[in-house]
Amino acid sequence: MKKNNPLKVSIIMGSQSDYKTMQLAEKTLKKIGVSFETKIISAHRTPKRMYEFASNTIKNNIGVIIAGAGGSAHLPGMIAALTPLPVLGVPIESKKLKGLDSLLSIAQMPKGIPVGTLAIGDDGAINAALLAASIIANNNPTIKKNLNNLRLLQTKSVKKKPK
């Protein structure tokens, strides 16, 4: 880890087709001021790229990994097997099984190698970013303040009565 350089979040996804969902994680991190990078890495189509990425996470100053994948979604689990950093898995809403396949593939990890599994699709991508920000906030007072402000705004935006 580089000293005095804030830890960043790495957003990875199995395919370009996942970006529609995963860009919501980017948008959320931007709102909070968390540094991030975004990459396409497929456990099945680019296994060497996956290994290379996972082997260099700590050297590259990454604090949390958000991994989105759909269908037979092995990416988050494989990354968690290769790095000790926290991995948050976002099940992409697949066309064939509406993301149930992705959810179960990501959630049903064997004991010993955890992946924090979020909800299917857009909600999962947004919540993964919020969770990643709260992990980074443990050692970053600016991010802690920004995250608290965002939550306060959200609370204020909820009307007391429906229109």
The contact set with ligand RP5 (CB under 6 A) reads 13-15, 17-18, 42, 69-71, 92
CA distances for 125 relative to 18, 23, 40, angstroms? 10, 8, 15
- We find the least distance from the C-beta atom of residue 92 to ligand RP5, in angstroms, to be 4
Nearer to ligand RP5, 70 or 124 (CB): 70
Q: Which is nearer to ligand RP5, 42 or 146 (CB)?
A: 42
Give dist(CA 97, CA 120) in Å, integer.
Answer: 11
Q: For ligand RP5, which is the closer residue by CB, 8 or 74?
A: 74
CB of 81 to ligand RP5, least distance (A): 17
Type of residue numbered 136? I
